Each structure stands twice: as C-alpha cells, then as structure tokens.
C-alpha cells in the first residue's frame, strides 16, 4: 500500500509498504530530504531503501519483549511489525508517521501527544485479555525495550508504566534509586515514582518529549556518518558525529551516563536508551536527553547469593566491562561525593515496601552500592 512518510505536517517521502510483512518495498518519491530521519543513508539524493526499512521496522516492539508471544496471540496478530501500520507508525518519542494519500488525516487530530489512545495493546502486553473488538491504535505499538510497559494518560499527562521481572521484580525500584542518586549528583534525569498495580511494583515516569521536540537515539546519531579512520573507537566515533551534527555538551553527558551506570551496575545501557533532543519544527539540536531507563541494574536478575559488587561486571555500550568503560570518563571533577553519603534511609525506603525483597537482599544491595561509591571515589583520585 502506498503511504506518505510524514514529519508532523511535512511531507517527507512516498513509501510502499507490504501490509503482511510491514516491509518498505519502494520509495517512489522524495518530498523533503532535510526531514528524513537522522541516520538514514542518503546518497546522491537517493534514500537507501534498506536503511529506511531498518529504521521503520526498528520502531516496532522488539521480539524480545517479555510476554510478547502471549500478547500477540491474544490480539490475533502475527508479529509486532504488523502493529506499526495499525497505529500509522505514531509514537510518543518523535513526530514521524505515515499518511494515506487517498484518505489523508490531519496531524492535530491523530497524534498521541494531544489525542487519547487505546489501552488495549498495553493491557495485552501486561497479560490482560483484550476486548472482543480490540482497538490497535496505540503508542504501545512503537515502544522499545524488553521490559513490560505501556502508556497511560493521567491528568492529561502521558505516563509510561513499566513492570519488573523475576526473581525480585526489582527493575521499577531500581529506576527510583537511580533517580535518587542522580538528583543528589545534580544529573539531569527523568524522575520515576513507584506504584503497586495488580500486586506488582511498577515504575511511572512522565514523557519528556512534547509536540515540539523529539528524541533521537544514540544509535541513529551514531549511524549518521562514517568513521574518519578505521581504528577510531565507537566511543570517539559517537562523539565525533555529535560534534559534526552540532549537538552540544555530549562528552559531559556521556561522562554522567558512565558514572551513574558504574554506580548501579547497569548492564543494559545500549544505543537505544540514551540520545539527544532536537526541535521537530526547526531541526535544531537542544542538547542531550535527560538520563532514563536504568532499571536493568543492581543485580536485578541475580539471586541474592550471587550479588558481587567487586566482580568485573559486563556492561554496554562502549566497552565490555565496567573496569574498562569507566576509564573513558573525561572528568570526575563535577562529582560531589559528599552528596552520596547517608543514603541508607532513603535506599531502604525505596526497597523495603516490596514483598519481593527480603532484608538480606536489601542489606546486600545497599552494601554493594556503597562499595561501588567507594570504588568510584578511588578511581576519581579522591579516595587516596
């Protein structure tokens, strides 16, 4: 079927989509090359179909999402990619979508920032049986990540609700812990709160993207240019591209990511869960995004007896182990280690109410975090 790829109200390109596979089959016409998504390969005025197709299919819910197979069966949908067309590719992280030129729609009437949406898909993703007449028009169709999550509206605000996983259902609690640490360190971040829903802990955060802005992932920034030399590391290449694009203060931003991830032993800081914000209207870069998505940390998937703060833990995205990645930090001068003292009470207030966390696990996690604070202090040159 023929669609027009739109950027808000701007016509970007005509694309032909196979409704059975969701693949882009052809790009018959380019309308506005400046508004092609960041990271899409363009050569001599021609868009790479493969590159645009990867971007398009990358908007779909990943096949690794917890409980996705059961959700698809409940919705009678063959794959997560098919859901893209059902919501016209609309999401809550940017302003791209597809429009039917035969029956065109207006951006103001359909975008999820200003209009209500169905919770049927989100409920299915959380294991709830959908209605007989399921409404698939939802921003959940374009949500990233492997954790169970869904968008809801509270007091006209778009709120992302995220669940946890076994054995401790710990990820929502870790989000709140990371918020607490970043608040103390004066690191711009997304604030998370806790709620108990259907007997499980859940984290809630407000969308930090508006109708005027959009989040460009680090992966799409990384893909926006070739390495200047083959031996350049992915870390330096990423910062090179940020400088070329004119995104301000990204080296300092990456420093802060590397520090907070080291402290909480975050094992899943991939190129999809950090990035930069730009104006959706002028395409001007506003700067780094606040830090978000820190749930896969604090030994969330380990049994208590396996928690080892001093072990060389694997990490992402620039190096394989934290002992290597923390060396990339350009400066530790901005860290006030005094703000990380006396965290015991606040730490226990976060974890103690959870029925999935016993005292032994909480004590060990607190001890491990304090030890990693000591390790970081030593690495910074302040610890003697």
* pLDDT tens profile 105-129: 999 999 999 999 999 888 888 888 7
Q: What is the mean pLDDT of the chain?
A: 94
Per-residue DSSP letter, 327: G
Share of residues in the chain with pLDDT > 90 (%): 83
Rounded CA-CA distance 102/129 in Å is: 34
Q: Is residue 207 part of a domain?
A: no
Q: Which of 97, 118, 139 is the last residue in one of the domains?
A: 118
Q: Is residue 31 part of a domain?
A: yes
Q: Are residues 114 and 220 in the same domain?
A: no
User: How many residues make up the chain in this entry?
Assistant: 384
Predicted confidence at residue 224, as pLDDT, reads: 94
Predicted confidence at residue 157, as pLDDT, reads: 97
Q: Is residue 264 part of a domain?
A: yes
Has residue 132 got a pLDDT over 90? no
Q: Are residues 219 and 363 in the same domain?
A: yes
Has residue 383 got a pLDDT over 50? yes
Question: Looking at residues 67-94, what average pLDDT do you find?
Answer: 90
Rounded CA-CA distance 286/273 in Å is: 17
pTM of the model: 0.94
Please, which residues bridge with residue 202 across strands?
195
Q: Are residues 217 and 366 in the same domain?
A: yes
Q: Is residue 196 part of a domain?
A: no
Q: Is residue 137 part of a domain?
A: no
Give the count of alpha carbons within 13 A of 233, CB side only: 10
Look up the CATH number of the domain holding residue 314. 1.10.1070.20
Q: Which of 87, 118, 149 is the last residue in one of the domains?
A: 118
Predicted confidence at residue 112, as pLDDT, reads: 97
Q: Is residue 126 part of a domain?
A: no
Rounded CA-CA distance 351/357 in Å is: 7
Q: Are residues 101 and 232 in the same domain?
A: no
Q: Are 162 and 143 in contact (CB under 8 A)?
A: no
Q: Which of 51, 85, 118 is the last residue in one of the domains?
A: 118
Tens of pLDDT, residue by residue over 257-311, are 999 999 999 999 999 999 999 999 999 999 999 999 999 999 999 999 999 998 8
Question: Looking at residues 12-23, what average pLDDT do you find?
Answer: 94
Tens of pLDDT, residue by residue over 206-237, are 999 999 999 999 999 999 998 888 889 999 99
Residue recorded with tokens 């918020």: 179
Q: Is residue 73 part of a domain?
A: yes
Q: Are 203 and 176 in contact (CB under 8 A)?
A: yes
Tens of pLDDT, residue by residue over 324-353, are 999 999 999 999 999 999 999 999 999 999
Has residue 79 got a pLDDT over 90? no
List the domain range (segments joined by +) for residue 246: 213-379
Has residue 177 got a pLDDT over 90? yes
Token code pair at residue 87 = 């919501």
Q: Is residue 267 part of a domain?
A: yes
Q: Are residues 373 and 225 in the same domain?
A: yes
Question: Looking at residues 370-380, what average pLDDT do you find?
Answer: 96
Q: Are residues 111 and 219 in the same domain?
A: no
Domain count for the chain: 2
Tens of pLDDT, residue by residue over 239-258, are 999 999 999 999 999 999 99
pLDDT band of 384, cuts 50, 70, 90 = very low
């Amino acid at each position: 079927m023929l669609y027009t790829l739109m950027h808000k109200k701007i016509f970007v390109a005509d694309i032909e989509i196979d409704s059975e596979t969701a693949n882009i089959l052809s790009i018959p016409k380019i309308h506005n090359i400046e508004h092609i998504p960041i990271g899409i390969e363009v050569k001599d005025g021609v868009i790479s179909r493969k590159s645009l197709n990867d971007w398009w299919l990358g908007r779909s819910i990943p096949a690794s999402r917890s409980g996705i197979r059961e959700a698809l069966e409940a919705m009678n949908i063959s794959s997560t990619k098919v859901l893209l067309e059902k919501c016209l590719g609309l999401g809550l992280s940017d302003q791209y979508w597809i429009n039917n030129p035969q029956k065109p729609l207006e951006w103001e009437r359909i975008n999820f920032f200003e209009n209500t949406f169905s919770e049927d898909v989100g409920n299915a993703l959380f294991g709830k049986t959908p209605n007989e007449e399921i409404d698939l028009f939802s921003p959940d169709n374009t949500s990233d990540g492997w954790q169970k999550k869904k968008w809801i509206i509270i007091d006209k605000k778009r709120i992302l609700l995220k669940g946890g996983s076994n054995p401790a259902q710990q990820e929502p609690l870790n989000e709140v812990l990371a918020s607490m640490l970043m608040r103390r360190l004066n690191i711009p971040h997304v604030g998370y709160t806790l709620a108990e829903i259907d007997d499980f802990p859940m984290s809630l955060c407000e969308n930090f993207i508006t109708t005027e802005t959009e989040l460009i992932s680090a992966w799409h920034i990384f893909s926006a240019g070739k390495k200047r030399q083959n031996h350049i590391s992915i870390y330096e290449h990423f910062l090179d591209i940020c400088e070329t694009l004119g995104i301000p203060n990204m080296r300092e931003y990456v420093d802060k990511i590397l520090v907070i991830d080291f402290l909480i032993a975050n094992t899943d800081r991939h190129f999809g869960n950090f990035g930069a914000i730009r104006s959706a209207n002028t395409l001007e870069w506003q700067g780094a995004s606040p830090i978000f998505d820190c749930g896969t940390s604090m030994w969330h998937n380990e049994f208590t007896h396996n928690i080892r703060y001093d072990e060389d833990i694997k990490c992402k995205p620039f190096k394989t182990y934290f002992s290597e990645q923390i060396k990339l930090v350009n400066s530790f001068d901005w860290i006030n280690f005094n703000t990380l003292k006396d965290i015991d009470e606040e730490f226990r207030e976060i974890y103690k109410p959870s029925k999935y966390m016993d005292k032994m696990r909480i004590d060990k996690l607190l001890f491990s975090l304090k030890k990693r604070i000591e390790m970081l202090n030593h690495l910074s040159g302040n610890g003697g």
